[in-house]
Structure 1
Amino acid sequence: MADSDPLVLLRQAIAAKQPIVPTASSDPSTSAVDLAQATHLAFPESSLALPISTATRFVTGDQPVDLRSIYFAWLNRERAIPDYNAAATALNDSLPEGAGVRNLGFVGRLDLITWLEGASDSEYIRPLAGDEGDAAAAPGGAAAAAKVGGAAAAAQARAGKGTMDPRLASIYSGERKMGDRNTALRGIKPTDFSHVRKLAVPFLTKKPHASHSSSSQTMALNQKAPGKRPDPIILLSPSASALLRLSNARSFLQEGRFVPPDTSSSTASMLHLQRSMPGIDPTRPLRFILVEGPEQFKPEYWNRVVAVFTTGQAWQFKNYKWSNPNELFKHVLGVYVGWRGEQAPDNVRGWGHRVLSTGVDRWMGEGHDASRFRDKEVVEQIWKAIEVNMNNKGWRRDAAPTSI
């Protein structure tokens, strides 16, 4: 029976790196189709094709999960929870009425994936028919042999330390071995939960009686002791088309080398940079706080904003203190970073001299560092404009402006 069990077939194919093909026919040799059009899941190496609606032994909420949902969860195992949910919704929209994938919960999906990758057991998978009965019906067989073997192993582990009492060895063989955090999560593959923190920030910040700050961003923005100059703030554009994001801002603004924002998997919501500005403080560098939005701002934080990076899209300023770009750039320096040789968007040019328009050379890929020599020139131009603007607004060695 195990030879045709969907979960066993899927696990064996994954372990052997064999193809698993969604098809529109019961013929295992049929070519693959999109999962939304598939009626069967074929295992060509086993010459089997199972209906994709087949119920499996994986049970959640007292309901067996179908093979389509199991295979979909495996295909999307690397996705974060929001992306997985969105993909499931998109697939369900393209399936016929009455068909659809089960949206597995986080714990259930983690349990399934680690079992498919080789974990020894699963609390959601029911045993194959006959497994429990065979074990119970043969106390002198496999179960007894396992106990004897465990006792022998325990006794052997004390070789050279004296003979262990057989009864004590039998007790030791029944001990449950403790694991580390990875085995507790039913797998050996480290799991990155860093995205959960970013998703939780909007909910935590709404708690009015919290005894501490709800996020590191709020804590850093609020660091202002009496008589101490607060840290200036730079707002980056949250647009996906922006060339400068939190993921590559340090490389560009501090190290003078541009890399595309999608080359880093950072999920940070805030960044600190240090920059020497002798015209403001000749004795120590200034620390700048970089964020992509003013969601954590208090009203007084706006007096510390020294630059706003923009792509020319006006929706960026919707939640700003000054939502009109022409008004905003009367108070704050604007910076546009585009590709060298390309004209800035009409909006940016329409906002006039209050927005510094710059361009960097196109990214040629890793190993072409020699082509990035002009990046530092652009960075110095940006910092010089920020320093001049800060001087004009009243930034000093021991004080920040009370109004901009």
Structure 2
Amino acid sequence: MAPTDDPLLLLRQAIAADGKIIATTSADSSEEAPLSKATHLVFAHPSRIAVPIDAPTRFTSTEGKAVDLRSIYFAWLNRDFAIPEYNAVATKLNDEMAGAAAVHMFAFVERLVLFTFLEGAQEESEFIKPLQGDKDSAAGTGAATTGAALKTAPAASGRSGRGTLDPRLAQIYNGERRMGDRNTALRGIKATDFSHVRKLAAPFMTRKPGGPPLATGVGSNPALALNQKPARRPDPIILLSPSASALLRMSNAKAFLEGGRYTPPDHNATSTMLHISRTIKEIDPSRPMRFILVEGPEQFKPEYWNRVVAVFTTGQAWQFKNYRWSNPADVFKHILGVYLGWRGDEPPESVRAFGHRVLSCSVEKWRDPGQPGAETSRWRDREVVEAIWKGIEGNMRAKGWRKDAAPTSI
């Protein structure tokens, strides 16, 4: 491939000369088309050349695959976007092409190398293959660029405001060492991890004996301790009743509280912990909260009690034997109680004695699915579940649950 036929060099030369680049639907067309429908990219400098837009280039991705011209040009058009914004517009373009083609989503290092090459600040890279016929990869790109600059004489635009250059002066400038921008100066073509500097600086940033803590740095803020990640909001805990007569056990709690459908518990189940997800809109509408369900606090640490948001009970006092508060009345002063029974049956006297501290809910009695009309009574399960979650959400707000933190005491 001659240097002037190389898509990557053509794009670089057009950018340097501020030449017009048009995406068209045919090689002979001069009417601009959207990238999702274009078949050719037409360069007006140094002369009109139409290149298939899906032509592979010498730029290879981290997976070793050649990146097509459409992806290169699209990345250049969106060079001012951050990675998340760029990925969003790239996904939109892929959706518009509906599988006919797909643009490559460049990683940070790939974009850095591509832009510095197209801007003329870099001549070689492990991502860019040398031109065919070059004797060594180090001089390949520079020689081709020099030759192209000579052919486009007598006018060539300087990258740093040098004005119009004659061919000889362009060749001299091409021999200069390109310093690049701050990204290439600091990182090169590979991202550098400077986390080890924090360890080296730690002895100098800690508090001196007998002196006040430093105003800034690691020593002034315990939350910025070495290698410590930002504090994650702990998962709220729901305690189920371990009683065999309880309608809600570990075997059917997920289907009921997460799926909104009641099924009888499986008394042969041996699970001791369960995770369910629920979006609590008044606390964190952006992401679901994960709840931990257990039947007993035997493995609890003292601080775990601050995360308990509900206790399901059948009214039996022995359930609270190993609780932080052994008296049920004291338990429900701090934590929301929930009683689940059959519709039409009265709650036990012990549950009624707790008053408003325990939320009493009733589900339709279970009927064999094989019986006629058995499924018609289950539509009310969702209504009961929503009432339970409404009570839990209100209790969590009152106790101080926030989007990024749990209460320190209840």
| Class of the TM-score when normalised by the shorter of the 2 chains | 0.3 to 0.5
TM-score, length of structure 1 as denominator length: 0.44
TM-score, length of structure 2 as denominator length: 0.43
Bigger Rg, which one: 2
